[in-house]
């Protein structure tokens, strides 16, 4: 889920900061009174801003992924190559098996990294894309396992769940940033307080957004195990395990190179035991899958 998460979080932060700047310039909020901060009004304001930013990020997710990754969407009526035809067939077959009533858009992006991702605002408006590196490095069974994992993310509704989670995180980010900014503005001269308050809101909001991303990363790691099990249900446990083992073998071959993904519901991403890891360790994923 690496690139999905990076772009989703980046879009979310940019949207959130933009909304905050506009509302601050317009004097929006109405939570500062003569007696200090009205916490109830601030909480309502924070929830509106937080969830608005999150849902705008969700709505832009598919467009953002295609633009940033340079995804070439496959015309289902006229695939241009054997690779395009095979990827399209796998995505559609596995999507039907997952019970999806609307087929995802399917695309290929030019990248040497071995990866794939799924994104989109809903099950009806989703995208599955694979890298050219994946198609050249993996065999047919491993590719099917990877695609099954991505389809499972869509079938599980992970992007929508993440959006709701991000909305809650955003609410606390906006709430705490404004309290901290108000406190900071009390320590300067009265004529400087509005400027300090405005700047402090942006600084604290970005800082708290980074801290809040830890919650999103933890969710990402948790959902990878579910997507692995879903991929095993769709393509078969052997193919899903083979896909993870192939990813492990690939990452070991290029160890020391730049193989960190910055993903969107990716099969592989920044992984390990760090709090900033988007993916669990591959050995742990293989172990969990075999125990499921």
**Annotated catalytic sites, by residue?**
150
Q: Does pTM top 0.75 for this prediction?
A: yes
Q: Where are the domains of the chain?
A: 1-292
Where do runs of H (alpha helix) occur along the chain?
2-25, 39-69, 82-97, 132-137, 140-155, 158-185, 193-235, 237-253, 282-291
Q: For 71-110, write each residue's pLDDT tens digit.
A: 999 999 999 999 999 999 999 999 999 999 999 999 999 9
Average model confidence (pLDDT) across the chain: 85
Q: How do strand 125-131 and strand 105-109 relate by DSSP bridges?
A: parallel
What is the DSSP code string of 16-82?
HHHHHHHHHHTT----EETTEE-HHHHHHHHHHHHHHHHHHHHHHHHHHHHHHHT-EE--TTS-SSH
Distances (CA, A) of 235 to 88, 117, 225: 15, 17, 15
Report the pLDDT value the prediction gives residue 260, as an integer from 0 to 100.
39
- 76: which 2 tokens? 């289902």
pLDDT digits (tens, 9 = 90+) for 229-288: 999 999 999 999 999 999 888 887 776 444 333 343 455 554 455 666 777 888 899 999
User: Tokens representing 126?
Assistant: 């989703």
């Amino acid at each position: 889920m690496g690139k999905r998460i990076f772009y989703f979080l980046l879009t979310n932060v940019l949207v959130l900061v933009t909304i905050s700047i506009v509302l601050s310039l317009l004097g929006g909020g109405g939570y500062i009174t003569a007696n200090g901060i009205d916490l109830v009004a601030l909480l309502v304001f924070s929830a509106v801003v937080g969830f608005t930013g999150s849902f705008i990020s969700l709505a832009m997710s598919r467009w953002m992924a295609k633009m940033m990754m340079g995804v070439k969407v496959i015309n289902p009526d006229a695939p241009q190559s054997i690779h395009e035809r095979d990827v399209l067939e796998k995505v559609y077959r596995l999507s039907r098996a997952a019970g999806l009533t609307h087929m995802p858009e399917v695309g290929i992006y030019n990248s040497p990294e071995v990866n794939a991702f799924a994104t989109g605002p809903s099950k009806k408006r989703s995208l599955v894309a694979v890298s050219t590196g994946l198609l050249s490095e993996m065999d047919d069974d491993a590719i099917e396992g990877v695609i099954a994992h991505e389809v499972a993310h869509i079938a599980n509704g992970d992007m929508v769940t993440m959006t709701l989670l991000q909305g809650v995180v955003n609410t606390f980010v906006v709430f705490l940033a404004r309290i901290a900014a108000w406190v900071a503005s009390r320590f300067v001269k009265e004529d400087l307080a509005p400027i300090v308050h405005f700047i402090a809101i942006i600084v604290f909001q970005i800082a708290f957004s980074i801290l809040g991303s830890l919650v999103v990363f933890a969710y990402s790691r948790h959902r990878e195990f579910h997507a692995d099990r879903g991929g095993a249900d769709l393509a078969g446990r052997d193919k899903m395990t083979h896909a993870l083992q192939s990813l492990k073998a690939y990452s070991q071959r290029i160890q020391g190179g730049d193989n960190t993904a910055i993903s969107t519901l990716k099969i592989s991403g920044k992984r390990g035991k760090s709090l900033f890891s988007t993916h669990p360790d591959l050995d742990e994923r293989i172990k969990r899958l075999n125990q499921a």
